[in-house]
Chains A and B, each alone.
Chain A
Amino acid sequence: MPQISLAPPPFFMEKKKLLRLYDLATTSPIEIIYLGETICRKRAPLDFRELISLAEKLRNIGKEVVLSSPLLINSEQNSDYLEKIVDIDDFAIEANEMTAVSRMITRNKKFICGNGIHIYNNHSFKLMTSMGMFRWQPPNELDLNSVIKISGNTPVATEITIYGKKILAFSARCFSAYAKNKNRENCSFACKNGENELKTLDGNKILTTNGPIVMPTNPVDLTSFDQNTENNHIKDMEILRIIPTETEPEKQMEIINTVINKLQ
């Protein structure tokens, strides 16, 4: 049975609820927890000290903790935060873009390539492995057959998303703020109000946004591929990732437990 991992919430989550979610996770079968606000530094619910103390707490009860790097480095603030986490030796780093990869390589540290790293073929996979990648998540658009061709029989662990909304795109523009005729500077945390669901002009659900990211309307759910051949591939993966979809911690844990039960 592959290990189960939990991704950071891709939407705004209040500090209290976020801590409650991780509290509930301590007694769940989740083995790997990715921590950190990856989308927008401005809304980060935990400051750096709080983040590290949460990471230590989760590690002390036996969870593997990974610190996730920001999706996009396009400000001093993001860059400084990244600098802080890559300097930490106690936890692994998930590199979500190339600045994080390059800083880990400079420090001679091994790293996890998040799905934002462009690994589309086994040549770039091998190159990245030679530079220190010890785990990877394929780009969100690759199917499992392509994934297997890329990573084949290597000691590098493959992690795929089994449940959740995989990010389809992101911008420098905050779409939650833009919808309220505001911008990133004066956003009033428009993302707090949850996802903005988009329908086509003829009324079909098509996409959803929160902050600067765009997601599909429905979460991917690979547990429902019961009779599908893809299911065999899923069991071959080392790690199966769940992306939070709910801001209510109890509700979120119910979903996590349902996903895990289906897998067993």
Chain B
Amino acid sequence: MNHKSVPELICPAGSYQAAIAATENGADAIYMGFQDATNARHFPGLNMNERKMTKAIDFIHKHRKKILIAINTYPQTDNFNQWTQTIDKAVNAGADALILADIALMDYCHTKYPATNIHISVQASATSADTINFYKQMFDIKRVVLPRVITIEEIERIHNKTDIPLEIFGFGGLCVMTEGRCFLSGHLCGDSPNTFGACSPAEKVKWNSSDKGLECLLNSHILDIFSENDSAGYPTPCKGRFLMDGKPIYPFEKPSTLNSLHLIPRFTASGVSAIKIEGRQRSPAYVAKVTSVWRKALNHFADSPSTFNIRCKEWNSELMEFAEGMNITSGCYDKGWY
């Protein structure tokens, strides 16, 4: 049973199997995307076609959970219709909310489907109460996903100045840069996350065994070389290792995973309405495990807040197997990080 006094748990599904795993392991809502550039996880073999999407929605709704469909990239003038048609598809398929970033798409959705809930995507880079209230006034939005550059103190300040529910990232890949405004991958490989829908797209990533170790390259730029003992992370530019004054360092962030499970009490007190697990590109096993651990933690906090901290260590150790480079960080929620 899930509790109303704690934030909702929002889990990723890049496949039908992952949608089932999220549903069965305690997600309150599952977010998904179609198989094209209309969402920010445009990777081969990922996401769902209309048939699979309908099937997944059917399953999720039978279990009385919600479906959020991400249409959170930016259409360009020539392909704008592809994005509006995707909104049509998502609404017709029965999505409970659409996660949007482009204001023209919000306008389209709000005008054509006034009853459809709009969530502001993290890709829209909304970082203030004024911005959120502006979207509310313009497009009657129902929720905003905050970028991973906002501290807990800021979340609190934003919450005090808006009645729009706030969703934050709790676990998974950590965007080091302000989401929606990062052109690093696009600069290095030509395909932009904002328009193509992928950071370090799979077809531009190469792994090369050399005498120095396992080289990972993005479009011929070496982003890191891993030795046998390293646990290699997915090569995004912000987790790359580069030479600064001749020394190899991680100038932005080590390969690491965001985990803020221990902050559930702070988030709840700061007015966070929903916590999102990143990872539509991850396996159903990842989704099942991470969802179940977070469900346990949220339920425990609701039932017995005084013993929450004691149990954190145990839950965190369960999550460790999914940590990139075996490093865990609380990112911007940790004062020393920024």
A98 touches B125 (CB 8 A): yes
Q: Residue B151 at the A interface, CB < 8 A?
A: yes
- Docked-complex contact A74 and B76, CB < 8 angstroms: no
Chain A residues lying within 8 Å of B224, measured Cβ to Cβ, are 201
Cβ < 8 Å to A, chain B residues 91-115: 101-104, 107-108
Contacts A74-B149, A185-B335 known; A141 to B134 CB distance under 8 Å?
Answer: no
Tell me, yes or no, whether A15 is within 8 Å of chain B by CB: no
Identify which of residues 110-132 in chain A touch chain B, using a CB-to-CB cut-off of 8 Å: 116, 118, 120-124, 126-128
On chain B, the residues within 8 Å of A169 by CB distance are: 177-178, 181-184, 238
Beta-carbon contact of B183 and A207 below 8 Å: no
Which one of A73, A121, A139, A203 has the highest number of Cβ atoms from chain B below 10 Å of its Cβ? Answer: A121
B242 pairs with A198, CB closer than 8 A: yes
Contact: B221 with A123, CB < 8 Å?
no
Let me know if B133 is at the binding interface, CB within 8 A: yes
Tell whether A197 pairs with B127 under 8 Å between CB atoms, given A168-B182, A170-B181: no
Which of B125, B238, B332 has the largest number of chain A CB atoms within 10 A?
B125
Return A104 CB to nearest CB of chain B, in Å: 10
Q: Helix, strand, loop or mixed for chain A's interface?
A: mixed
Given contacts A173-B252, A198-B244, A123 and B80 within 8 Å (CB-CB): yes
Q: Is the CB of A120 within 8 A of B194?
A: yes
Does A171 count as interface, using CB distance less than 8 angstroms? yes
With A and B bound together, what is the CA distance between A197 and B242 in angstroms?
A: 9
Complex Cα distance A146/B253, Å?
33
Instruction: Kindly list chain A residues whose C-beta atoms are within 8 Å of the C-beta of B221.
Output: 200, 204, 206
Number of residues on chain B facing chain A (CB within 8 A):
62
- Bound complex: CA A73 to CA B221 (Å): 32
Q: Which residues of A contact B124 (CB under 8 A)?
A: 98, 118
With A121-B102, A122-B77 as known contacts, state yes or no: A214 contacts B181, CB within 8 Å.
no
The answer to whether A74 touches B151, judged by C-beta atoms less than 8 angstroms apart, is: yes
Taking a contact as CB atoms under 8 Å apart, the answer to whether A184 and B338 are in contact is: yes
Pick from A140, A198, A204: contact of B183, CB below 8 A: A140
Interface size on A, residues (CB 8 A): 57
Considering the chains assembled together, what is the distance between the CA atoms of A103 and B221 in angstroms? 41
Residues of A46-71 contacting chain B, CB below 8 A? none
Q: Which residues of B contact A74 (CB under 8 A)?
A: 127, 149-151, 154
Q: Which residues from A are CB-within-8-Å of B225? A: 201
What are 10 A-B contacts with C-beta separation under 8 Å? A72-B127, A98-B131, A127-B107, A168-B184, A170-B178, A172-B338, A175-B252, A199-B243, A200-B243, A214-B184
Q: List 20 additional A-B contacts (Cβ < 8 Å) besides A118-B74, A173-B253.
A: A74-B149, A102-B131, A102-B133, A118-B194, A120-B74, A121-B74, A121-B80, A123-B80, A139-B194, A149-B78, A169-B182, A171-B149, A172-B149, A178-B252, A179-B251, A201-B225, A201-B243, A207-B184, A209-B251, A216-B187
Q: Which residues of A are in contact with B by a Cβ distance under 8 Å?
A: 72-76, 79, 97-99, 101-103, 105-106, 116, 118, 120-124, 126-128, 139-141, 146, 149-150, 168-175, 178-179, 183-185, 196-204, 206-207, 209, 214, 216
Binding site for A on B (CB under 8 A): 74-78, 80, 101-104, 107-108, 124-128, 130-131, 133-134, 149-151, 154, 157, 176-178, 180-184, 186-188, 192, 194-195, 221-225, 237-238, 241-245, 248-249, 251-253, 332, 335-338
